[in-house]
Amino acid sequence: MSTAATPAPSPVEQLLVDDPYLREHQGSLEHRYGLFSKALAHIEQTEGGLEAFALGHTRFGFSVSPAAITYREWAPGAAAASLVGDFNGWNRDSHPMKRDDFGVWEIVIPHAADGTPAIPHNSKVKISMVKPNGERIERIPAWIRRATQDLSVSPVYDAVFWNPPHKYVFRHKRPAKPSSLVIYEAHVGIASPEPRVATYKEFTKNVLPRIVDLGYNTIQLMAIMEHPYYASFGYQVTNFFAPTSRCGTPEDLMELIDTAHSHGIVVLLDVVHSHASDNVLDGINQFDGTDHHYFHEGGRGRHDLWGSRLFNYGHHEVLRFLLSNVRYWMDEYGFDGFRFDGVTSMLYLHHGIGTGFSGNYHEYFGSQVDLEAVVYLMLANHLVHKLYPNAITIAEGGVGFDYRLSMAVPDMWIKILKEKRDDEWDMGNITFTLTNRRWKEPAIAYTESHDQALVGDKTIAFWLMDKEMYEFMSDLMPLTPIIDRGIALHKMIRMITFALGGEGYLTFMGNEFGHPEWLDFPRQGNNSSFHYARRQYNLVDDHLLRFKYLNNWERAMNHLVKQYDWLSSGQARLAPPSPSDAVSPAYASISTAPSLAPASASASEAADAVCLRQQYVSLKHEGDKIIVFERGDLLWIFNFHPTQSFTDYRVGTAWGTRHSVALDSDSKLYGGHERIDTKGEYFPTKEAWNERPFWIQVYIPCRTVLILKHD
Q: What is the CATH number of the domain that holds 156?
A: 2.60.40.10
Instruction: Look at the chain and report how many structural domains it folds into.
Output: 4
Between these two residues, 599 and 24, which has the higher pLDDT value?
Answer: 24
Angstrom distance (rounded) from CA 561 to CA 1: 51
420-468 pLDDT, tens digit per residue, is 999 999 999 999 999 998 888 899 999 998 887 776 678 899 999 999 9
- Classify residue 331: in a domain, yes or no: yes
- Classify residue 504: in a domain, yes or no: yes
322-351 pLDDT, tens digit per residue, is 999 999 999 999 999 999 999 999 999 999
Percentage of residues of the chain with pLDDT beyond 70 = 93
Q: For 24-79, list the strands marked E by DSSP.
A: 61-64, 68-74
Q: Are residues 633 and 521 in the same domain?
A: no
Angstrom distance (rounded) from CA 413 to CA 497: 10
Q: Are residues 359 and 259 in the same domain?
A: yes
- Classify residue 143: in a domain, yes or no: yes
User: How many CB atoms within 10 Å of residue 457?
Assistant: 17
Q: Which domain holds residue 66?
A: 56-161
Q: Are residues 347 and 450 in the same domain?
A: yes
27-53 pLDDT, tens digit per residue, is 999 999 999 999 999 999 999 999 999
Query: Is the CB of residue 273 less than 8 Å from the CB of residue 280?
Result: no
Quote the mean pLDDT of the chain.
91
pLDDT confidence tier of residue 153, bands split at 50, 70 and 90:
confident
First-to-last C-alpha distance (Å) of the chain: 51
Query: Is the CB of residue 264 less than 8 Å from the CB of residue 257?
Result: no
Average pLDDT rounded to a whole number, residues 520-530: 90
Write down the pLDDT at residue 102.
96
Q: Are residues 466 and 553 in the same domain?
A: yes
Q: For 448-597, list the strands marked E by DSSP.
A: 504-508, 588-589
Angstrom distance (rounded) from CA 3 to CA 29: 31
Q: Are residues 404 and 514 in the same domain?
A: yes
398 DSSP β-pair partners: none
User: How many CB atoms within 10 Å of residue 193?
Assistant: 14
DSSP labels, 147-193? EE--TTT-SS-EEEE---SS-----SPPPPPPSSEEEEEEEGGG-SS
Angstrom CA distances, 326 to 36, 182, 241, 386, 425, stand at: 18, 23, 9, 12, 43
Main-chain dihedrals φ then ψ at residue 470, nearest 5 degrees:
-80, -20
Average pLDDT rounded to a whole number, residues 111-140: 97
Boundary of a domain, candidates 529, 547, 567: 567
Angstrom distance (rounded) from CA 520 to CA 443: 28
Angstrom distance (rounded) from CA 20 to CA 22: 5
Query: Is the CB of residue 374 less than 8 Å from the CB of residue 382?
Result: no
Q: Are residues 484 and 557 in the same domain?
A: yes
In this structure, the dihedral spanned by the alpha carbons of residues 292, 294, 299 and 302, taken in order and rounded to 10 degrees, is: -140
Q: Are residues 203 and 63 in the same domain?
A: no
Q: Are residues 103 and 246 in the same domain?
A: no
Write down the pLDDT at residue 570.
55
Boundary of a domain, candidates 161, 196, 222: 161
Average pLDDT rounded to a whole number, residues 284-298: 97
Write down the pLDDT at residue 10.
87
- Classify residue 574: in a domain, yes or no: no
User: Does residue 167 have a pLDDT over 50?
Assistant: yes
User: Does residue 83 have a pLDDT over 60?
Assistant: yes
Active-site residue identified among 19, 336, 396, 512: 396
Residue type, 237: V
Angstrom CA distances, 668 to 476, 542, 676, stand at: 15, 17, 10
* Nearby residues of 647 by Cβ (< 8 Å), 6 or more positions away: 699
Boundary of a domain, candidates 161, 193, 228: 161
Q: Are residues 141 and 25 in the same domain?
A: no
Q: How many residues does the chain have?
A: 711
Pick the range with the lowest mean pLDDT from 12-16, 563-567, 690-694. Answer: 12-16
Residue 331 is among the residues annotated as catalytic for this protein: no
Write down the pLDDT at residue 331.
98
Angstrom CA distances, 570 to 17, 343, 435, 695, stand at: 19, 25, 11, 24
Average pLDDT rounded to a whole number, residues 290-317: 96
Residue 630 is among the residues annotated as catalytic for this protein: no
652-710 pLDDT, tens digit per residue, is 999 999 999 999 999 999 999 999 999 999 999 999 999 999 999 999 999 999 999 99
Average pLDDT rounded to a whole number, residues 480-493: 98
625-638 pLDDT, tens digit per residue, is 999 999 999 999 99
Q: What is the CATH number of the domain that holds 193?
A: 3.20.20.80
Percentage of residues of the chain with pLDDT beyond 90 = 83
User: Does residue 578 have a pLDDT over 80?
Assistant: no
495-519 pLDDT, tens digit per residue, is 999 999 999 999 999 999 999 888 8
- Classify residue 299: in a domain, yes or no: yes
Write down the pLDDT at residue 458.
82
617 DSSP β-pair partners: 629
User: Does residue 290 have a pLDDT over 90?
Assistant: yes
Q: Are residues 68 and 39 in the same domain?
A: no
Query: Is the CB of residue 340 less than 8 Å from the CB of residue 322?
Result: no
Between these two residues, 381 and 18, which has the higher pLDDT value?
Answer: 381
Angstrom distance (rounded) from CA 534 to CA 201: 16
Average pLDDT rounded to a whole number, residues 463-490: 96
- Provide the 3-class DSSP secondary structure of residue 589: strand
pLDDT confidence tier of residue 221, bands split at 50, 70 and 90:
very high
Write down the pLDDT at residue 425.
98
Question: What is the DSSP pairing of strand 181-187 with strand 218-222?
Answer: parallel
For 379, the enclosing helix (H) or strand (E) is helix 371-387
Angstrom distance (rounded) from CA 363 to CA 257: 39
- Classify residue 309: in a domain, yes or no: yes
Alpha helices, H only, 425-505: 427-435, 450-453, 460-465, 481-500
Active-site residue identified among 73, 158, 288, 341: 341
Angstrom CA distances, 109 to 58, 76, 119, 144, 430, stand at: 16, 22, 9, 17, 64
Angstrom CA distances, 354 to 167, 348, 351, stand at: 48, 12, 9
- Classify residue 75: in a domain, yes or no: yes
Q: Are residues 135 and 239 in the same domain?
A: no
Nearest to 81 by CA among 63, 69, 64, 99: 99
Q: Are residues 154 and 240 in the same domain?
A: no
What burial class does residue 316 get, using C-beta atoms within 10 Å of its C-beta: 0-12 exposed, 13-18 middle, 19+ buried?
A: middle
- Classify residue 314: in a domain, yes or no: yes
User: Does residue 604 have a pLDDT over 60?
Assistant: no
Nearest to 627 by CA among 360, 494, 386, 428: 428
User: Does residue 609 have a pLDDT over 60?
Assistant: no
Angstrom distance (rounded) from CA 512 to CA 495: 11
Write down the pLDDT at residue 607.
40
Angstrom distance (rounded) from CA 321 to CA 298: 21
Write down the pLDDT at residue 597.
29
